[in-house]
Amino acid sequence: MSTDASRTAPGVRGHRSRTPARGQGGLGGKDSPQDRGAPGGRPPGQAPPSGPALKLLTAAEELFGERSYHRTTVADVCARAGMATGSFYSYYGSKAEVFAAVVRAINTDLRRAMRVALEYAGDDQRSRERAAFRAYFDMLSRRPWIDRIVRESEFIDHGLFREYYEQLARGYARGVRAAQLARDIDARYDPEVIAYAYTGIGNCVGMRWADWTAGGQVPDDVLDDVLEFLARGLAPRET
């Protein structure tokens, strides 16, 4: 999987003639990874949150993950952030608005972590897949609630839910197309199909081992099995 998922993707259905540079795709992002992964996502053109806005965003992410959207109030978020309830509205217009900011922050942080991992990965597709999956699984271990928040967004704001996955898949598809041009992946496959397969595999494996299992780590042998499956299923045919 590879990505900078924030731009329009060449290589997805209907765009196969547009070719990404080798380094533009991956399962991930290009800034330094964050220890805790403080939320940073926002709509295009809006400055990243900082100070009190970031404190509220971080508190909201934790509470939405622990309790769910419907069982969290604005007062709860402010209490967790150590701020007066009335100050919330200086930064966010509603609980729905801060929820959307949280989902976008998760997306931004994930793509950033993947970009960083890919900077140190080998040039072949299997090495890039390993680096990007590991970056995602490690982020999920540190913040095990993030997938629960994203899944809940389907029922809070379906457009937001779709935006989240479309952003990731566009970047993955660019990386797949680059790998096809490098003959690492069979060029018969539609990059968009593979991109969503990556997404589904990552989500379910991460949920099973990082979220549901005590210790919250995806073991290396599980990741090895995922990569072996991808190598056997996506390798070009011998000619």
pLDDT of residue 50: 74
Whether the predicted pLDDT of 195 surpasses 90: yes
Structural contact between residues 173 and 19, judged by C-beta atoms closer than 8 angstroms: no
Complete domains list, the chain, with CATH: 48-93 (1.10.10.60), 96-239 (1.10.357.10)
Q: How far is CA 175 from CA 131, 201, 208, in A?
A: 13, 16, 26
Residue-level pLDDT at 237? 66
The residue that leads in pLDDT, 191 or 38, is: 191
Q: Is the pLDDT of residue 31 over 60?
A: no
Task: Give the pLDDT confidence score for residue 129 in this predicted structure.
Answer: 94
3-state secondary structure labels for all residues of 3-30: CCCCCCCCCCCCCCCCCCCHHHCECCCC
pLDDT > 90 in the chain, percent:
68
pTM of the model: 0.79
- pLDDT for the residue numbered 22: 37
Is 37 exposed, middle or buried, given 0-12, 13-18 or 19+ CB atoms closer than 10 A? buried
The length of the chain in residues reads 239
**What are 59-110's pLDDT values in tens digits?**
999 999 999 999 999 999 999 999 999 999 999 999 999 999 999 999 999 9
